[in-house]
């Protein structure tokens, strides 16, 4: 039952948004408009949708307006995921806290942060509508939340602001996100491929 | 993998407890939400309302044989249609044994503007949810098919495909009513639990919800000022009879096409809904006094209220709504 007063809800949401916003970037590419991205690690790794990062280069705009050059380092259209590298030397990057997509339950509160219709750092509140699983692993997170173009590549976070998914598309009025478990698998494969090519080069 | 994080979000906040409450409500109430397979395309939702009694939205039941329901425990069982009431968009299915709990109903006073609510559905195997608030609560109203709903409950939330027939629940998982998009050209409305109980009682007992019936099609018309003055009428609107059902109650009483009803049961009428309001199921067999104008002259006619026959089209449900 709801015993706690909801009075601090707004303040908590505001704090969550202002923290999460520092880990969300705008991804601009020539010709493809703008989407969002998530600072995955402070060493310059940004995760976004493949459909947001269709070119080799992207301009990354941080929450405070600073612009960085980004190089698209991996691109997986099947999972609709991509990585972009930026030079971490010039700025201090605030990595997002990554949560556990496998723990999500239908009804859980989720927050999306992104740049819908080009509006910078907009927040949306909703709940998990369904977690679509395949062989026990979450495949898609469907959320009862209002998203718009520009949210693509941005985070879907849990009630504590931990990223659980990458907002990817809108289907039947629902926000659809790629779970972070899928992102981790994607990043592991990218890393393994890179290690192989390094050893070949050596 | 996750790199070093600059912040650690705090645990135990209000948002997290809200999240836990809502997920808990979905889990509890979802046990009594079923999927109903009685149409092509995606299944619709229903609620295990009483032991062996499933409530559904009438418009989603598009065939009357070979109906199955899927339960929260993963089983799929056969169901038979006990009856349907198109006027309130409700239908009742019977099942032999449903090994899932029945819905836990909230007190009627819980239906208030601003109440945080979840709409639940099971348009497949898993229970799904949408969140919103009750945006309007009004008094008793009549649907465009003539059904009476105890309270007008409008929702600010999304009724997704397959959600009609699913429950509206509060943050404690208690059921406030049944959601449908079939009563209002797509807007999300809830039928309060009190109305559902009343309709379920009638459908279980008799297989139908009886409605009174005159067998007359009527349309509002403006009366000429001279006539209004001559007959000292209280207003200048009447209901012109534009069709009569052969051998129906109105026809049998001598009502003709072109007659204009100006009063029913001594009350002026200006809208067909005024007449529908006097035709509840308990009025069947009673006599209704009407005052009409025929050829410019007033006339009193008594009509014996009949029972509305079943419309064969009802058996097909409707594609309107979700």
> Which residue in A158, A173, A187 is closest to B1 by CB distance?
A187
φ, ψ at A141 (rounded to 5°): -105, 120
Token pair in block for residue A191 = 């890393």
ipTM (interface pTM)? 0.90
Q: Does A6 touch chain B (CB under 8 A)?
A: yes
Question: What pLDDT, on the 0 to 100 scale, is given for residue B192?
Answer: 98
Given the residues A51, A75, A108, A144, the one annotated as active site: A51
Task: Give the residue from chain A lying closest to B123, CA to CA.
Answer: A130
Per-residue pLDDT at A198: 82
The verdict on whether A184 is a catalytic residue reads no
Q: How many residues does chain A have?
A: 202
Question: Smallest Cβ distance to A95: which of B4, B25, B161?
Answer: B4
Measured between CB atoms, does B2 come within 8 Å of chain A?
A: yes
pLDDT computed for residue B11 by the predictor? 76
Do residues A122 and A116 touch, judged by C-beta distance below 8 A?
yes
Integer Cα distance of B181 and A129 in angstroms: 18
- In the annotation, is B89 catalytic? yes
Nearest to B33 by CA among B96, B107, B119: B119
The C-alpha of A28 sits at a distance from chain B's nearest C-alpha, in angstroms, of 24
pLDDT in tens, A179-198: 999 999 999 999 999 888 88
pLDDT tens sequence across A100-142:
999 999 999 999 999 888 788 899 999 999 998 888 888 999 9
Residue A134 is predicted with a pLDDT of 84
Q: What is the mean pLDDT of each run of 10 residues along chain B (322 residues)?
A: 51 90 97 96 95 96 94 95 95 92 94 96 95 96 88 95 96 96 87 97 90 91 91 90 94 95 91 85 91 93 90 74 72
- Residue A202 pLDDT exceeds 80: no
CA dihedral of A148, A150, A156, A161, whole degrees rounded to 10? -110
What does the DSSP 8-state code read for residue B60? G
What is the DSSP annotation of A50-111? TTT--SSEEEEE-TTS-EEEEEEEEEETTTTEEEEEE-TTSS---PPPB--GGG--TT-EEE
Nearest to B16 by CA among A107, A71, A63: A107
Give the residue from chain B lying closest to A187, CA to CA. B1
Please report the pLDDT score of residue B4 as a whole number.
43
Which pLDDT value is given to residue A97? 96
| CB-CB neighbors (< 8 A) of A41 in chain B | 1-4
Q: Summarize pLDDT for A37-64 with one digit per residue, the tens.
A: 999 999 999 999 999 999 999 999 999 9
Give CA–CA dist A62/A65, Å, rounded: 5
Q: Would you say B237 and B218 are in contact if contact means Cβ atoms under 8 Å apart?
A: no
Q: Is B42 on the interface with A (CB under 8 A)?
A: no
Using a CB–CB cutoff of 8 Å, tell me whether B201 touches chain A: no
Give the A:B interface size as CB pairs under 8 Å: 126
Please tell me the predicted confidence (pLDDT) of residue A5. Answer: 65
- Binary contact (B129, A127; C-beta < 8 A): yes
Report CB contact under 8 Å: A40, B2: yes
**Are A109 and B22 an interchain contact pair (Cβ–Cβ within 8 Å)?**
yes
Report CB contact under 8 Å: B128, A6: no
Verify whether the Cβ–Cβ distance B14 to A12 is below 8 Å.
yes
């Amino acid at each position: 039952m709801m015993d706690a007063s909801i009075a601090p809800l707004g303040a908590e949401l505001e704090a969550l948004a202002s923290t999460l916003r520092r880990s969300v970037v705008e991804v601009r590419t020539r010709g493809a408009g703008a989407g969002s991205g998530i600072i995955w690690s402070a060493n310059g790794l940004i995760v976004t949708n493949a459909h947001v990062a269709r070119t080799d280069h992207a301009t990354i705009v941080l929450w405070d307006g600073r612009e960085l050059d980004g190089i698209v380092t991996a691109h997986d259209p099947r999972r609709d995921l991509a990585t972009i590298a930026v030079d971490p030397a010039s700025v201090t990057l605030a990595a997002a806290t990554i949560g556990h997509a496998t723990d999500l339950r239908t009804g859980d509160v989720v927050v999306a942060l992104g740049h819908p219709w080009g509006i910078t750092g907009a927040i949306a509140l909703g709940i998990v509508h369904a977690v679509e699983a395949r062989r026990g692993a979450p495949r898609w997170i469907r959320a009862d939340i209002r998203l718009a173009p520009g949210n693509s590549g941005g985070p879907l976070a849990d009630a504590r602001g931990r990223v659980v998914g990458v907002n990817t598309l809108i289907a039947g009025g629902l926000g659809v996100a790629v779970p972070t478990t899928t992102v981790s698998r994607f990043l592991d494969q990218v890393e393994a491929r890179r290690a192989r090519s390094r050893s070949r080069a050596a | 993998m996750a790199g070093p994080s600059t912040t650690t979000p705090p645990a135990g906040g209000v948002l997290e407890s809200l999240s836990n409450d809502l997920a808990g409500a979905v889990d509890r109430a979802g046990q009594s939400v079923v999927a109903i397979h009685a149409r092509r395309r995606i299944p619709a939702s229903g609620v295990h309302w009483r032991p062996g009694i499933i409530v559904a939205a009438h418009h989603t039941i598009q065939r009357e044989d070979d109906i199955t329901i899927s339960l929260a425990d993963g089983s799929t069982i056969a169901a038979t249609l006990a009856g349907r009431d198109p006027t309130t968009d409700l239908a009742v299915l019977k099942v032999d044994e449903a090994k899932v709990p029945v819905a836990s109903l909230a007190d009627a006073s819980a239906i208030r503007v601003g109440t945080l609510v979840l709409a639940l559905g099971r348009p497949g195997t898993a229970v799904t949810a949408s969140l919103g608030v009750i945006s309007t609560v009004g008094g008793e109203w009549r649907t465009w098919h003539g059904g009476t709903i105890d309270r007008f409950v409008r929702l600010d939330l999304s009724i997704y495909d397959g959600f009609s027939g699913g429950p509206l629940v509060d943050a404690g998982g208690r059921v406030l009513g049944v959601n449908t998009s079939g009563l209002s050209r797509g807007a999300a409305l809830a039928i309060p639990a009190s109305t559902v109980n009343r309709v379920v009682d009638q459908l279980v007992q008799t297989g139908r919800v009886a409605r009174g019936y005159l067998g007359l099609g009527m349309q509002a018309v403006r009366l000429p000022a001279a006539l209004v003055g001559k007959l000292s009428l209280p207003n200048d609107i009447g209901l012109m009879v534009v069709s009569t059902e052969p051998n129906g109650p109105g026809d049998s009483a001598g009502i003709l096409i072109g007659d204009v009803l100006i009063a029913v049961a001594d009350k002026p009428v200006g809208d067909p809904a005024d007449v529908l309001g006097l035709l509840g199921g308990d009025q069947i067999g009673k006599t209704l006094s009407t005052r009409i104008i025929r050829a410019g002259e007033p006339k009193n006619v008594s009509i014996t209220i009949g029972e509305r026959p079943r419309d064969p089209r009802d058996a097909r449900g409707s594609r309107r709504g979700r």
